[in-house]
């Protein structure tokens, strides 16, 4: 259930194919793609130059930004996190969010979680003080945890999300054409 599933279903409808969805741990998706386990990744994957050397990307479908999620009753800003050693930051392992967290807070030990759900729970329970997450995902977690968390600060605003394919995949062109037709 979710945006990615709905879009892939619509793309396949337009391309006369049937998607087979598989769940996977985020930190293993690129090696699994390289091993031929998937034809396409659809999970809010950020385009990066480093990734483009090992996989092919579709055209971007959205531009997002990274934000710092904090508890709703906190007033901590990005500057507070940069200036205060005891504020703890979490994010999801193996993501561009983790890269942004480490670049933004080079002197902090970043707590990387298996998924954002775990990071958000740690934030709500007070185990950490902020979560580096994209603004779209942050909005979803804020909606699910109304009154408990909020966006404390914007960190970046220029990351492109795209679908991912094995190098040389013959699916890139038809997926791109179907995406253009949907705009």
- Output the pLDDT for position 29: 87
Q: Which domains does the chain have, with CATH numbers?
A: 3-62+162-182 (3.40.190.10), 66-154 (3.40.190.10)
What average pLDDT does range 145-166 have in this prediction?
93
Higher pLDDT pick, 43 / 91: 91
Q: What is the mean pLDDT of residues 147-167?
A: 93
More confident residue, 1 or 149: 149
Q: Reply yes or no on whether the pLDDT at 2 is more than 80.
A: no
- The mean predicted confidence, pLDDT, of the chain is 92
pLDDT band at 1 (very low <50, low <70, confident <90, very high): low
Tell me which of 132 and 3 has the higher pLDDT. 132
pLDDT bucket at 98, cuts 50 / 70 / 90: very high
Mean pLDDT across 159-163: 91
Sign of CA dihedral 80, 83, 89, 95: positive
Q: Does 119 score more than 80 pLDDT?
A: yes
pTM: 0.74
Q: Which residue has the higher pLDDT, 107 or 16?
A: 16
User: Residue 177: is its pLDDT beyond 90?
Assistant: yes
Q: What is the pLDDT of residue 30?
A: 86
Residue 3: predicted pLDDT: 77
């Amino acid at each position: 259930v979710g945006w990615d599933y709905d879009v892939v279903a619509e793309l396949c409808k337009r391309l006369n194919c049937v998607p087979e969805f598989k769940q996977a741990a985020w930190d293993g998706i690129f090696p699994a793609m390289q091993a031929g386990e998937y034809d396409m990744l659809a999970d809010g994957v950020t385009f990066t130059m480093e990734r483009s050397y090992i996989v092919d990307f579709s055209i971007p479908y959205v531009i997002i930004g990274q934000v710092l999620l904090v508890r709703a009753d906190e007033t901590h800003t990005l500057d507070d996190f940069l200036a205060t050693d005891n504020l703890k930051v979490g994010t999801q392992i193996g993501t561009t969010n983790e890269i942004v967290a480490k670049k933004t807070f080079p002197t902090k030990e970043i707590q990387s979680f298996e998924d954002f759900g775990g990071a958000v729970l740690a934030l709500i329970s007070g185990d950490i003080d902020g979560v580096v997450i994209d603004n779209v995902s942050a909005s979803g977690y804020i909606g699910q945890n109304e009154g408990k968390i909020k966006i404390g600060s914007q960190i970046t605003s220029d990351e492109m999300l795209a679908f991912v394919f094995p190098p040389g995949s013959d699916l890139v062109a038809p997926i791109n054409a179907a995406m253009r037709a949907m705009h």
